[in-house]
Structure 1
Amino acid sequence: MSTSETVTFDAGACPCNAGRLVKRVTSQGNPWSGVDVAFSIDCPACTTEWRIDRTMMVLRSSESAYYSALAADRVARDAVHALVLPLIEHFLKELEAPNKKALHTELTRLNLTTMSYRQFLEHMRRGNNASAAVTSTRNPGWLSSIADAHGVRDQLDRLSQTLKSTGQACTHAAQQVVRRKIQ
């Protein structure tokens, strides 16, 4: 039978100073388990305005610009993916690798996958296409060359520039999120 003990500590005032931050430390009654530490806000007003992320308080209203930027980045990333997926599938069809090992070796040589051979085999065993193992943006030169060959280089360049801009917007918006360390 497992037993645990929870001890509650005062971790300071909440942002509006009307309530408190609470630190709860739970330890299991056995020598091999560590402790679980959790923080909470004991203030109705601050609970709606702030959230806890591990040992940080995050102002919810400051995250909206970040989530909007993240959504725009996802749209840009999806647009690039939609353009290059048929190109990748055409490339893989023309490659005519005799087996999965040869296919993985070529994808690795071209720096188009981050998967180990074991991961690649598992990916294929689950019924996924080899094209789903490709991260085409890992090799921009290769991607540009196949886009050239299919006459979509200008479109790819425009989408890539949009993706770069949305990525920078995400980085900037993430830096604007208000975080406070809980002491």
Structure 2
Amino acid sequence: MNADTPFDELYHAYAPRVYRLCMGYAGGRDAVAREWVQETFIKVWKHRQSFKREATIATWIYRIAVNVCLADLRKKPKTEGLNRSIPDQPEPDREQEHASQDTRIAKLYTCIDQLTEKNKMLILLELEEVPQQEIAATTGLNHGAVRTRLLRIRKALLNCMTYET
């Protein structure tokens, strides 16, 4: 894929991954994540001629998405993030397992939200199964630093998920 690819192909190929990346920054808030995805792809299309092919198109799109998320987060007061609610619990007639999974996902987003901006970007790209070499290219870190940081981030998230309420 390249910058000359039709918009709908680019969108359908990358929107689900960009959405999940944005959900991590949005702390699980669907409406915010969707807004950021929309803004990301507007920028992708608007600036498609500036894609220099020095990195993959995926790396370029991820970088735009991260910048969109971080720019919007910087505009909003920090207290706004504290008032987020956990998604509604499923109705009682649904399986308990589904409710438990929703709770774990909400907890994961809460834990990810506590990370620094750089660490949040690293783990969200990792969760999207972006290769570590590509994460390094996206973030400007060397591959060894990415590997080390991801290891530490995973340990911190495990600690948060296991011991923090």
Q: Same fold (TM over 0.5)?
A: no
More helix by share: 2
TM-score by length of 2: 0.29
TM-score by length of 1: 0.27
Larger radius of gyration: 1
